[in-house]
Structure 1
Amino acid sequence: MKRNILPAIGIVVGFGLIFASMAANGSLLRYFDVPALIITLFGSFSAIMISFPFKTLKKVPSLIKKLMFTPDDDRGALIETISFLAKKSRTEGILALENEIKELDSMVLIHGLEMVVDGTDIDTIEEILNVELEQTEDRHSVGQQVFLKWGEYAPAFGMIGTLIGLIAMLGDLQDPSLIGTGMATALLTTFYGSLMANMVFLPIAKNLEIQTANELKTNEMIIEGVLALQRGDNPRVIEQKLASFLSNSDKKNKKESKKAVAVAEEF
């Protein structure tokens, strides 16, 4: 896992800019209203509690942690590992991979190699690994849905709070001088809902979506490598095929590292 401070920086900078703009127009206290916060935050969270089971909501802290600590998704290193395993399998036999499995971190690669060593046919391996891939996508999508829905509910409850404030204000128009203040207070709930949705909940959902997409793409690469191992493909062909999963920058870095190794071996 690698620490990822960019989301925290984005939240701090975003709120900082908004608070600076608010402070430029007067005291920040005019933007603080306890009932509005209660309606927006606790109201939207109540809707989340209705929408999702408790076992899903228990995962919210771990999802926040995942936001700050991203997986070490080094596809280049995985390609080198799979290429090494292919060479070992070709020279020493498929059973020689059994000792290497203990040193691996990727559960998809471990499960795939275990089936390869056990002699499972290639169609069954592909089917089982694809099912695992689908289950991983389903598990991750639940976390994304929590924050997507929260991003939808927060502005909605902000609008509800605004309507409550307007009803209360319009119900008592004996003092016209209070209309402006009452209107400002009523609009605060809409402000809170829009702010939390667009600064916190929806960005978190998008971050989790991107992380899931990257993890699925890496797992697809691993599955392709495992199937190639089972077929007994040439290690060089396997490496070239898996390199298609790398970005252009990663391919360039991989080529440069190979050149550096070749130069070092010459000396």
Structure 2
Amino acid sequence: MKRNLLPVIGLVVGLGLIFASMAADGSLLRYFDGPSLIITFVGSLSAIMISFPLSTLKKVPALLKMLMFAPDENRWGLIETLTHLAKKSRTEGILALENEIKDLDNPVLIHGLEMVVDGTDIDTIEEILNVELEQTEDRHSVGQQVFIKWGEYAPAFGMIGTLIGLIAMLGDLQDPALIGSGMATALLTTFYGSLLANIVFLPIAKNLEIQTANEMKTNEMIVEGVLALQRGDNPRVIEQKLQSFLSQTDKKRKKEEQKSVEVAQEF
């Protein structure tokens, strides 16, 4: 896991720009209204509590932690590991991989290698690993749905708060001087709902979606490597096949690192 401060930086910059524009026209206090904030945040939270079971909502703190500590997707390292295992399997036999498993930390790779060592047929290995990947994706998608729905509910409750404020204002028009301030207060809930949805909830959902996609791509690469090991493919062929999962940027960065190492060795 590596620390990821980019979401926090984005949140601070976004809120800073909004608050700066608000402060340019006067005091920030006029943009604060306790009841409006309660209607928007607590109201949307209550809708989330109705929509999802408690077991899912308990995972929200862990999901937020994922924003700060993104997994280190070292695909080059996994390719080198799988290539090494393929070479060892060819020279020492498939059972020699059993001693290598205890040094690994990727659960998908460990489970796949255990089935290879046990002699499980390739179709069964592929089926089991693909089911695991589907279940992992489903678990992650539930977390994404929490924040997607929260991003939908917040503006809706903001509109509800605005309607409540307008009804209360229109119900008492004895003092026309209060219409302007009453309208401004009523619109604050719409502002809060839009703000929470577009700078907090929906960006979090998108971040989790991208992290899930990256993890799934890494796991698909591992499954392909495990199946190639079971088939007894040439280690060089396995390496080239797995490199197709890498982006051009990753390949270029690796070549530059290798070139730097070669230059350093010359000296």
TM-score band, normalised by shorter chain:
over 0.9
Residue 69 of structure 1 and its aligned partner are, at CA, apart by 0.4
Counterpart of 1:211? 211
1:16 paired to 2:8: no
2:247 aligned partner, one-letter code: S
Residue 112 of structure 1 and its aligned partner are, at CA, apart by 0.2
Counterpart of 1:165? 165
Counterpart of 1:29? 29
Residue 88 of structure 1 and its aligned partner are, at CA, apart by 0.7
Counterpart of 2:242? 242
* Count of aligned positions: 267
- How far apart, CA to CA, are the structure 2 residues paired with 1:254 and 1:28? 50
Counterpart of 2:126? 126
- How far apart, CA to CA, are the structure 2 residues paired with 1:177 and 1:260? 73
Q: Deviations over 1:106-144 (max 9, x none)?
A: 100000000000000000000000000000000000000
1:73 paired to 2:73: yes
248-257 or 141-150, larger mean C-alpha shift:
248-257
Residue 256 of structure 1 and its aligned partner are, at CA, apart by 3.0
Counterpart of 2:87? 87
Residue 249 of structure 1 and its aligned partner are, at CA, apart by 1.2
- How far apart, CA to CA, are the structure 1 residues paired with 2:223 and 2:70? 21
- How far apart, CA to CA, are the structure 2 residues paired with 1:145 and 1:245? 27
Q: Deviations over 1:136-192 (max 9, x none)?
A: 000000000000000000000000000000000000000000000000000000000
| TM-score after normalising by structure 2 | 0.98
- How far apart, CA to CA, are the structure 2 residues paired with 1:139 and 1:164? 38
> Map of 1:142-157 to 2, 5 A cutoff?
142-157=142-157
- How far apart, CA to CA, are the structure 1 residues paired with 2:70 and 2:47? 29
Residue 43 of structure 1 and its aligned partner are, at CA, apart by 0.1
Two-structure CA RMSD over aligned residues (Å): 1.1
| Secondary structure of the structure 1 residue equivalent to 2:244 | helix
Q: Deviations over 1:195-228 (max 9, x none)?
A: 0000000000000000000000000000000000
Residue 16 of structure 1 and its aligned partner are, at CA, apart by 0.6
- How far apart, CA to CA, are the structure 2 residues paired with 1:261 and 1:41? 54
| TM-score after normalising by structure 1 | 0.98
Counterpart of 1:181? 181
- How far apart, CA to CA, are the structure 2 residues paired with 1:21 and 1:126? 55
Q: Deviations over 1:13-38 (max 9, x none)?
A: 10011000000011000000000000
| Secondary structure of the structure 2 residue equivalent to 1:219 | helix
- How far apart, CA to CA, are the structure 1 residues paired with 2:171 and 2:259? 78
Residue 257 of structure 1 and its aligned partner are, at CA, apart by 3.3
- How far apart, CA to CA, are the structure 1 residues paired with 2:89 and 2:264? 27
| Secondary structure of the structure 2 residue equivalent to 1:245 | coil
1:136 paired to 2:112: no
1:139 aligned partner, one-letter code: R
1:118 aligned partner, one-letter code: D
Structure 1 unaligned residues grouped into runs of 5+? none
Structure 2 unaligned residues grouped into runs of 5+? none
